[in-house]
C-alpha cells in the first residue's frame, strides 16, 4: 500500500528564516497605515478644536454640538455664557462648542413662524 499513497514526513518545527522578518515588515506597514489614516487625522482635529476653544472671546457667534446658535457674553475657565435669544442666556461647557460662525450670523430678532399657516 506504500506505493499508492506517499508517506507523510514530519517537517521541521521552525519556520523558514525569512518568515519572521516578513511578518515584522507586514506589522510595521499595517501600523503605518493605521497611523496615517486614523490616529494622525484624529489628533490633528483634536488640536484644532483645542485651539478654537482657547481663542473664544466675548462677542463670538458660535454653534454648540447640540445645534444651538448664540453669542458669547462671558468666557470662563470651562464654561461660556451665551445669549440664544433676546433675554435668554445659558451656560454651556466649552467642549460643547462645535464651531465659530461668521459675524452677523446670529440675529435674535428673527420673526416667529406662524404654525397654523406655515408662514412668517
Mean pLDDT (the chain) is: 85
What are the two backbone dihedrals, phi and then psi, of residue 97, each rounded to the nearest 5 degrees?
Answer: -75, 120
Angle at 35 between CA 25 and CA 65, to 5 degrees: 160
| Percent of residues, the chain, with pLDDT higher than 90 | 65
pTM over 0.85: no
Q: Which CATH number fits domain 57-101: 3.20.20.80, 2.30.30.100, 2.40.40.20, 3.30.360.10?
A: 2.30.30.100
Q: Output the pLDDT for position 8.
A: 60
For residues 96-107, give the mean pLDDT.
90
- The pairs formed by 78-81 with CB atoms below 8 angstroms and a separation of 24 or more are 80/56
pLDDT tens digit sequence for 30-50: 999 999 999 999 999 999 999
Arithmetic mean of pLDDT, 63-68? 93
Amino acid at each position: 500500500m506504500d506505493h499508492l499513497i506517499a508517506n507523510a514526513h514530519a517537517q521541521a518545527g521552525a519556520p523558514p528564516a525569512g518568515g519572521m522578518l516578513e511578518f515584522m515588515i507586514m506589522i510595521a506597514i499595517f501600523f503605518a497605515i493605521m497611523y496615517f489614516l486614523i490616529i494622525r487625522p484624529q489628533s490633528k482635529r483634536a488640536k484644532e478644536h483645542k485651539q478654537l476653544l482657547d481663542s473664544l472671546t466675548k462677542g463670538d457667534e458660535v454653534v454648540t454640538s447640540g445645534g444651538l446658535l448664540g453669542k458669547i457674553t462671558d468666557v470662563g475657565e470651562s464654561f461660556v455664557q451665551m445669549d440664544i435669544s433676546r433675554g435668554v442666556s445659558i451656560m454651556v461647557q466649552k467642549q460643547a462648542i462645535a464651531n465659530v460662525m461668521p459675524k452677523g450670523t446670529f440675529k435674535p430678532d428673527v420673526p416667529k413662524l406662524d404654525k397654523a399657516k406655515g408662514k412668517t
